[in-house]
Amino acid sequence: MKIAIDAMGGDNAPDAIVAGTVLAARENPAVTLVLVGDENAIKRCLGQDAPRNIEVVHTTEVIEAEDEPVRAVRRKKDASMVVAARMVKEGQADGVVSAGNTGALMAAGLLVVGRIRDIDRPALASVWPTMGGKAMLVLDVGANMDAEANHLYQYALMANVYAKVVLGMPEPRIGLLNVGSEPGKGDKLRKEAYGLLENGPFRFAGNIEAREALNDRCDVLVADGFTGNNMLKLIEGFGLGLFDQLKRIFLANTLSKLAAAVLKPGLTAFKKRFDYTEYGGAPLLGIDGAVIKAHGSSNDRAFQMAITQAIRFLDGNVLEQIRTDLTKTTETV
Amino acid sequence: MKIAIDAMGGDNAPDAIVAGTVLAARENPAVTLVLVGDENAIKRCLGQDAPRNIEVVHTTEVIEAEDEPVRAVRRKKDASMVVAARMVKEGQADGVVSAGNTGALMAAGLLVVGRIRDIDRPALASVWPTMGGKAMLVLDVGANMDAEANHLYQYALMANVYAKVVLGMPEPRIGLLNVGSEPGKGDKLRKEAYGLLENGPFRFAGNIEAREALNDRCDVLVADGFTGNNMLKLIEGFGLGLFDQLKRIFLANTLSKLAAAVLKPGLTAFKKRFDYTEYGGAPLLGIDGAVIKAHGSSNDRAFQMAITQAIRFLDGNVLEQIRTDLTKTTETV
């Protein structure tokens, strides 16, 4: 097994990326990790005693966070991310892990690696912490803006396999994000998708309202990319805003500062539970390879975690299982 | 001016509804408020010294919270909400205020009162508190599930008038909820709507990302009903969940309880700011009358506030201004 690593993507690249790759290489000696990026910078980070299962491929360009995704992927042919994706396309690697520009990775997955046959649209899946402290896989959080019912069905099918194989959920409950819990609720898209999801080769848990979405009602939450992206960003913004407001209350005066100090351990643990960087990378499902997006602010541990997900993805034959489930259900859908 | 009040709708009906109506009647002696519902129950709540500008219309049916909206409105012809809506349709009242079943009020607005001419779809607008403590009008939060670009444009036009007249915002900044802030972002619907909004008779603030939505970037946030409804419910659920988790941290042990007691005033004030019931009612814009949905759990003060909104709506000729703006822009759109 060989995984291409975009060494130049992310806020802490290449240092944290290389460090995380070294951790993962030591933990998985049978896996070859190929660091793709500026050779000098990578070698400086690697130092003398790099694990022998790390290789380096030199590239000269980098896709920046502010680059327009599709244009960057098309024009920067020697960008670390694009070269890593091309390695998967050409069979030189089985997967790619990047902490770089999310849109660009989605574009590289779609345009360079390509889709799984019979999957119409890839979906970006993100792991959210629930109020009960569990993990929930939410997709699509922004790969496909104009989803159709059949896309939502395919998201469910792919996420079911990923949740089982990579997240270790035995029989994931698949929920459909909707404005009401009863069947028949929602817009045209949701009404049509509901009919498809009922007949899928997975455990359909029905409609889930956003109010209940974080209360462990399902293990996989299916949404269109527009809504999923907005929900993800709303949680981020609302969470940050609330913690900011709490901080002000805590820092109001000497007494409140003392009180806050008492509560600090509990609050820190709590905030950490809602730190989305703790939950590893986001798979781009539907691409014909393991494509994992690590959080942009990944440190070495977070990036190692994203590589571990790619390894589990490949070890568990996620792609093969998706293909099998797809053929299984062609007749019913 | 005459406003029909659904005396039987809401968790605290008829008591809180009647009490709120009495407060509003005393404050606005020139406005006639018509309590529609069970006459005996209303009169018991009114007691002896009811203001003279309160009238009572007796009805025998009630739409319950769990009733299927459209069916309930069609079948329960003598329901307090339906009779109140019919009074507007027949010119016996200028508006209706209800704390009852939201879906039923939207159905009653659409099916009984009817739309403003040239408005394709009504929208439910909800006032959200921002992190900076201001108010933001968000629409549509669930009246129309399958929005088209022209609907979003009309939402913006109507909300602009409402924000100016009822919320007292001099020149509301109208934002479009989208997955990126640059023009050209989003799904087909958003791309098309952006082009229309740019040319509207209001101050267009461009795309607003959900992450920034609560940070006072705009005064009116335009969304399709599916996304808006999900966002509203996500905030409710996430907020409740967070406060629940904080409570656990505070109640962990004696010391944390003491610390929490110190912080309590600040936290209570903070929580109150995010109590959506404090922000009055939600107008159903696009209906040919003032239709205000008060929060289901309204107490007398909250319900009085919703009536005040209806009065401002009518005093400020919101409907007339919407009609004027609609004709103003028929050429450009």
Q: Residues of B with CB below 8 A from A245's CB? A: 131, 270
Nearest CA in chain B to A260: B259
Beta bridge partners of B35: B5, B56
Cross-chain Cβ contact B145/A214 below 8 Å: no
Q: What pLDDT score was predicted for residue A36?
A: 98
ipTM: 0.92
CA angle A157–A159–A160, rounded 5-degree value: 65
For residue B328, the distance in angstroms to the closest alpha carbon of chain A comes to 31
- Residue ranges of domains in chain A, CATH in brackets: 1-119+286-333 (3.40.718.10)
pLDDT at B29 over 60: yes
Distance, CA of B140 to CA of B121 (rounded, Å): 10
Confidence of residue A276 (pLDDT cuts 50, 70, 90): low
Give the chain B residue nearest A270 (alpha carbons).
B245
How far apart, in whole angstroms, are the C-alpha atoms of residue B154 and residue B147?
Answer: 11
Residue of A nearest to B261 (CA): A259
Q: Which residue would you say has higher pLDDT here, A267 or B288?
A: B288
For chains A and B, what is the number of CB pairs under 8 angstroms?
142
CB B131 to CB A177 under 8 A?
no
Q: Is the model's pLDDT at B332 over the cut of 60?
A: no
Average pLDDT (B253-258) is 90
Residue A245, sorted as left (phi over 0), alpha (psi -120 to 50) or beta, turns out to be alpha
Chain A neighbors of B232, CB-CB under 8 A: 210
CA-to-CA dists, residue A68 to A47, A108, A174, B180, angstroms: 34, 12, 33, 12
Contacts of A179 in chain B (CB under 8 A): 142, 145, 225-226, 229-230, 233
Residue B175 phi/psi, 5-degree rounding, is -110, 150
* Chain centre to alpha carbon of residue B30: 24
Q: How far is B21 from chain A (nearest CA, A)?
A: 31
Could you identify the residue written with the tokens 């995380």? Answer: A20
Interchain contact, B260 vs A259, CB within 8 Å:
yes
Q: Is the pLDDT of residue B78 over 60?
A: yes
pLDDT tens digits, B188-200: 999 999 999 999 9
Question: Which of B21, B90, B56 is CA-nearest to residue B310?
Answer: B21
Looking at the complex, report in whole angstroms how far the Cα of residue B296 sits from the nearest Cα belonging to chain A.
Answer: 16
Using CB atoms within 10 Å of the CB of residue A136, give its burial: 0 to 12 exposed, 13 to 18 middle, 19+ buried: buried
pLDDT tens track for B31-58:
999 999 999 999 999 999 899 999 999 9
The Cα–Cα gap between A324 and A305 comes to: 27
Q: What is the pairing mode between strands B173-177 and B220-222?
A: parallel
Q: Are A238 and B233 in contact (CB < 8 Å)?
A: no
Please state the rounded mean pLDDT for residues A115-144.
94
Contact: B211, A236; criterion CB under 8 Å:
yes
How many whole angstroms separate alpha carbon A57 and alpha carbon A157?
35
Phi, psi of A283 (to 5 degrees): -75, 140
Cβ count within 10 A of residue B111: 15
Question: From the CA of A219, how many Å to the nearest CA of chain B?
Answer: 17
Tokens of A97: 């892990």
pLDDT reading at B333 higher than 50: no
Of B226, B239, B262, Cβ closest to residue A187: B226
Least confident span in A93-107, A214-228, A235-249, B94-108: A235-249
Distance of alpha carbon A224 from alpha carbon A193, whole angstroms:
11
- Asked if A227's CB is within 8 angstroms of B187's CB, the reply is no
Query: Do residues A66 and A35 make contact, with C-beta atoms less than 8 angstroms apart?
Result: no
